[in-house]
């Protein structure tokens, strides 16, 4: 079945560490996104990518970095510069070739600073 896989489901980070969240999709979608969700909050866009080797900052990109070396993969690195990284992170993708199409989401990664 086609879908988006995020790993790990739970991740713990020590102060000063960089950690990388994985996102893989087999939907053949061009566009991929990373969102951050805090308790009681909506989704905030961190980064997005329309095609391989290209990505753009979203609303809250500071302290995060991404890469898009392959169409199916869009990993997110939470750097030590992100002062408040504890949150639920969601990866999504859309098919830019189709009009009016919805986004497909992964199951999320919960990151906690210890």
Partner 1 sequence: GNSVTQMEGPVTLSEEAFLTINCTYTATGYPSLFWYVQYPGEGLQLLLKATKADDKGSNKGFEATYRKETTSFHLEKGSVQVSDSAVYFCALSPSGAGSYQLTFGKGTKLSVIP
The stretch near partner 1 (CB under 8 A) out of 12-20, 44-52, 63-71, 75-83 is 44-52
User: Does 25 participate in binding partner 1 (rule CB under 8 A)?
Assistant: no
Among 108, 111, 112, 114, interactor with partner 1 by CB under 8 A: 108
CB of 55 to partner 1, least distance (A): 13
Q: Where are the beta strands (DSSP E) in 1-114?
A: 4-7, 10-13, 19-25, 31-37, 43-49, 56-57, 64-66, 76-78, 87-94, 104-105, 109-113
User: Does 63 participate in binding partner 1 (rule CB under 8 A)?
Assistant: no
CB of 107 to partner 1, least distance (A): 5
* Phi, psi for 47 (deg, rounded to 5): -145, 155
């Amino acid at each position: 079945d086609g879908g988006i896989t995020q790993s790990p489901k739970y991740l713990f980070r020590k102060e000063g560490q960089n950690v990388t969240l994985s996102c893989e999709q087999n939907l053949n979608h061009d566009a991929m996104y990373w969102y951050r969700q805090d308790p009681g909050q909506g989704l905030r866009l961190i980064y997005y990518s329309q095609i391989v080797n290209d990505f753009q900052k979203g609303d809250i990109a500071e302290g995060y970095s991404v890469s898009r070396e392959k169409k199916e993969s869009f990993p997110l690195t939470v750097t030590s510069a992100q002062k408040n990284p504890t949150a639920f992170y969601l990866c999504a993708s859309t098919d830019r070739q189709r009009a009016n199409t919805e986004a497909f989401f992964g199951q999320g990664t919960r990151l906690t600073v210890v």
